[in-house]
Every structure is written in C-alpha cells, then in structure tokens.
Amino acid sequence: MEFLDLPLELLSQILSHLTKVQHVASACRVSKAFYEFGISRLYERASIYSWHKHAKVRVISLFNTLAHHPRLAKYVVRLEIRDFPKVSKALGTGDVEELVLNALRNCVNLRSCTWTRDGAINSAILEVLQTIDTLVDLEINGHSDGHYDPSILKSFSHLRRISLIMPSADVVGQLRSWTAQTGSHLRSLTLICKTSPLVTDSILAGIVPNLPELEQFSVTGCLRVTEQGVWSILASNTSGLCSLALEGLNSKFDHAALSARCATNPAVLARLQSFTMSVHNDVWLQSVTSLLKLAPSLEIVQLYAADPHESTFRRPTVANDAFWHDFVSTHGARLTRVSVHRMSISLSAIREICMRCLVLKQLYVVVDPSALDALAERLSCSRSLSAVHINFPTVAMEEWIDEVPVVLRAPDALAIVRRCPDTITLFGCNARVWQVERQVVRDDSGELVVERYLTGYESPDIPEQFLVVRT
C-alpha cells in the first residue's frame, strides 16, 4: 500500500501532529486532499505576539486576508491579538478600521478572542465582536479610558470566560451588570491588575450572586481584596471552584482567617484541583498548608515569592523543607504539577517531590546553577515527569556570575535530560525551552537503542512555565 492509498479520513489525524504553522502550510500545498483537510487547521488559530518579527505589519496582513477571504475567516476559532498598533494611529484611518471590522465580521465561528494591548481596541471592534454568537471566551485590556465605551461589555451575554487586564474604574463599575447578563454561563473570571485599589471586597460581594456556576477565579494585584472578598466568591458557589489563583495581594491578607472559614464548610474546596499564590514569607507558606488540607482533589500547585529579595526565599530554609514534606504527605498521590518560582527550594525537597509524587508530570523549580548535577540525580527519582523547567535565582545571580555560566548550553541540558525518566518531552532553563525527541540508533555493540536529543520548541502555545508569574 502506498501513502496515497490511505483512507482520507486519516489525514486529519496525521496533520494534527504538525505543530508549526509553517509545516501545516507546506502540507496544504501537497494536494487538493491535503489542502481540504489542512486549511481548517491552518486558520483555526490566528495569533500575533509582540515578539513576532514585524508583528504590527503581520497583524494588518492577517486582517487583510480575513477581510477579503471569508471562506478562510470562517475557519478561525481562536484569535489572539497581543500586539496591535495604537487605536489612535491604526484605527484613526477609516480604511484600516473598516478592514479590521470586515475581517471580524467574517469570523463567524470565532469562539475565543484575546486582544490585550493597552489602547489597541475601540468601541467599533467590541460592537462587532458582541454580534458573534459563537464567542464564549473574551480576554481584553480593561483600560477603557479614551478608547471604548465600557457599557458595550454588557452586550457580551453568553461568555463562559472573561479575563480583564488592568481594568479602569468604569470597566470595574460594569462588572455587576455585566455578570448579571452572563449569569450561569460564566465559568471563569480573571482580574489582572498592578497594585490597583479599584477591585475591592465590596465589588466582589456585588457580583457573587451572578456567579453560581463559576469554576475558575483568579485575582492579581488587587491590593484591597482581602480574605472576606475571596470567601464571598468561595461561599456563594454552588458546586465549588476547580481553580483558584491569589496573586500580588496585600501582605496583610489573612490566610488564617480564610482557612478557618473554609474549615466550617469543607465543600467550598472539595473540587479544587489547581491553586496558585504569591507568598510573602514563611507564615504565608504555613497558611497554604492549612488551607489546602481542605482540598482533597488538588492536582496542581503553583507558588512564587511576591518579593524575591525577601531573605526567606533567597536560600532554602528548614521551614521550607517542612512545608514541602507536609504538603507532599497530604497531596503527593494526586499532584501532576509543582511550580516554584522566584523562591529557592532545597535539593532534598525536590527529591521528596520526585519520589513521592507518583503521577507528577510537570516540575518547575529554582536552583543554583552550581547544583545542576545534583539536581539531575534528584530528577532521576521520578518515574512520570514529562516537563521540567529550571530557573536560576535572579537575586543572587551576581554571586555566581564569575564562577558558573548563567546560560545553560544545549549539551549540558541534554546531559540532564538523559538522566531524567524516559517520559520527559520538554526541558527548559531560564528563557530557553527545548523539546525532547527520540531516535533509534545502533550502539557500539551493534544493538538498536533509543537515544534522546533536543530540538527547538515548536508549539504555538506559550510554555506553561512562562505563564505562572504575573506580578
């Protein structure tokens, strides 16, 4: 049987293994059959990131294609615009604005839209987006002042996920009426600020009656949110949250009080699978232990230092080791991801995590560059790791700059990977990420063996380890 004799329905499965856009585009040129199966995958996700070369030119080119080729635009399910010329410059001219609006009108099957650059979205864009019946996921920059009318947001009434970045006072003021419109549809709410006083306990209390089916809640940099506001979100939920992230909150946040309240109603954390928090000191770590003892379904924990200069986090401490011992004892059988950022963790704690977390898939840790060989020995204790990422402590980097290279070379990374379990598929250090591939070769004795090697990261998704720290 030749390749062309394969049933056509297998093409979809074959093409699903192509991750780079360039590879999918090349496949579409093979034949008409490949084109018919590949073109939907090629346009299913359209993404523009700020680090893309000539990003602002590319985004206009993208909208030009979508505006003039409705047949291609109908394939777009996920649109990510993370870089775009300022509205005053790009959309101030009628031609460019009409191009963008026509493109969006053609995206009739759009389900997810991300438009995050400050000043890059206007009322006209929002008005077109709210007419798309399939849209259920919206992530936008919330700084509306001088850019768009916040009252338009209430027209998005069927969203399952809302994410607001740096919301202005007028946008925050729309939250109650907006969530009243989304009602039981809404499953995820994310509010990302930077030391903002606008989101308060009273704001959260005002929207909780509209969030009965919420599954994910994330709040970042909202300094006036206390344990009372978080408790109102937890207590009002009918089924219990699956994911909770508390990041960049006031150092006076009373976790002990929150734990005490949760203890009176264990059901509020019964479904919690993912927990993220920025911690200020050892007391906060202890509060995590108390709070998460009430979460019998926990699978993912992501912790990072609110201030990496805090002496508690510059070097591993006995208190930190005690925390990880207790934490693994309670949750080790279920944990699939452990992320520790901007705070050191001891090699003994890493060994305990690798040995006792039997289904661990992802591990992100901070270690001294001088300890990489010892780290590899600890990683070898795991039997299930698929992704590992190492960060060096940025605060103390000057202490090693003359002794140890701060950039991990590919051969050194491969040496660590080859001591990791066979399940590993992704490895990174600082700003580098490699995919772990395999090839069959003959060893010196002539036997066939599988060797691992590193290649560049190909997925269009931002590696998960780069999405954890947001403050």
**Residues 319 and 292 sit within 8 Å (Cβ to Cβ):** no
**Residues 221 and 142 sit within 8 Å (Cβ to Cβ):** no
Type of residue found at 234: L
**Residues 304 and 278 sit within 8 Å (Cβ to Cβ):** yes
**Residues 370 and 347 sit within 8 Å (Cβ to Cβ):** no
At residue 311, the pLDDT reads: 63
Digit-coded pLDDT (tens) for 33-61: 888 888 888 889 998 887 777 778 889 99
**Cα–Cα nearest to 251, from 205, 289, 204, 305:** 305
Q: Quick check: is 263 in a domain?
A: no
At residue 209, the pLDDT reads: 94
pLDDT over 70 for what percent of the chain?
Answer: 91
Q: Quick check: is 425 in a domain?
A: yes
Both tokens assigned to 467? 């999405």
Asked if residue 122 and residue 27 are part of one domain, the reply reads no
Burial of 224 (0-12, 13-18, 19+ CB in 10 A): middle
Asked if residue 134 and residue 75 are part of one domain, the reply reads yes
Asked if residue 114 and residue 27 are part of one domain, the reply reads no
Is 196 in a helix, a strand, or coil?
strand
Q: Quick check: is 316 in a domain?
A: no
Query: CA-to-CA distance for 89 and 47, rounded, in angstroms?
Result: 21
**Residues 457 and 463 sit within 8 Å (Cβ to Cβ):** yes
The CATH code of the domain that includes 162 is 3.80.10
Asked if residue 77 and residue 164 are part of one domain, the reply reads yes
**Residues 8 and 37 sit within 8 Å (Cβ to Cβ):** yes
Query: CA-to-CA distance for 257 and 242, rounded, in angstroms?
Result: 21
Residue bearing the bigger pLDDT, 355 or 26? 355
Q: β-pairing, 112-115 with 137-141?
A: parallel
Query: Phi and psi for 277 in degrees, rounded to 5?
Result: -155, 140
Specify the number of domains making up the chain: 3
DSSP bridge pairs for 339: 302, 364
Digit-coded pLDDT (tens) for 7-22: 777 777 777 777 788 8
Task: Give the DSSP letter of residue 269.
Answer: G
Distance set, CA 3 to CA 8, 248, 283 (Å): 10, 55, 62
Query: CA-to-CA distance for 291 and 401, rounded, in angstroms?
Result: 39
Q: Which helix (H) or strand (E) holds 138?
A: strand 137-141
Asked if residue 15 and residue 125 are part of one domain, the reply reads no
Does residue 397 carry a pLDDT above 80? no
Asked if residue 162 and residue 69 are part of one domain, the reply reads yes
Digit-coded pLDDT (tens) for 193-249: 988 899 999 999 999 999 999 999 999 999 999 999 999 999 988 889 999 999 999
Asked if residue 33 and residue 55 are part of one domain, the reply reads no
Q: Which helix (H) or strand (E) holds 429?
A: strand 426-429
Q: Quick check: is 252 in a domain?
A: no
**Cα–Cα nearest to 199, from 255, 250, 234:** 250
Asked if residue 102 and residue 142 are part of one domain, the reply reads yes
Q: Quick check: is 434 in a domain?
A: yes
At residue 200, the pLDDT reads: 96
Mean pLDDT confidence for 386-397: 80
Q: Quick check: is 277 in a domain?
A: no
Q: Which of 89-98, 205-214, 315-324 has the lowest mean pLDDT?
A: 89-98
Query: Phi and psi for 146 in degrees, rounded to 5?
Result: 75, 5
Residues 6+ apart with CB under 8 A from 322: none
Digit-coded pLDDT (tens) for 280-296: 888 888 888 999 999 99
Query: CA-to-CA distance for 379 and 392, rounded, in angstroms?
Result: 16
Asked if residue 148 and residue 21 are part of one domain, the reply reads no
Task: Give the DSSP letter of residue 85.
Answer: -
pTM: 0.90
At residue 88, the pLDDT reads: 47
At residue 181, the pLDDT reads: 94
Residue 312: pLDDT band with limits 50, 70, 90: low
Q: At what angle do helices 227-236 and 255-264 cross, to 10 degrees?
A: 20
Does residue 93 carry a pLDDT above 70? no
> Interior CA angle at 56 toward 72 and 25, to 5°?
35
At residue 306, the pLDDT reads: 82
Query: CA-to-CA distance for 117 and 142, rounded, in angstroms?
Result: 10
Residue bearing the bigger pLDDT, 92 or 261? 261
**Residues 164 and 190 sit within 8 Å (Cβ to Cβ):** yes
Both tokens assigned to 139? 């992530």
Domain hosting residue 59, numbered range: 49-186
Asked if residue 143 and residue 24 are part of one domain, the reply reads no
Average pLDDT, the chain: 88
Q: Quick check: is 296 in a domain?
A: no
Query: CA-to-CA distance for 275 and 235, rounded, in angstroms?
Result: 17
pLDDT over 90 for what percent of the chain?
Answer: 62
Mean pLDDT confidence for 428-449: 89
Query: CA-to-CA distance for 153 and 99, rounded, in angstroms?
Result: 22
Is 114 in a helix, a strand, or coil?
strand
Asked if residue 174 and residue 92 are part of one domain, the reply reads yes
Residues 6+ apart with CB under 8 A from 260: none
Final residue of a domain: which of 186, 221, 250?
186
Final residue of a domain: which of 168, 186, 204?
186
Asked if residue 71 and residue 4 are part of one domain, the reply reads no
Digit-coded pLDDT (tens) for 337-364: 999 998 888 999 999 999 999 999 999 9
**Residues 436 and 427 sit within 8 Å (Cβ to Cβ):** yes
Q: Quick check: is 322 in a domain?
A: no
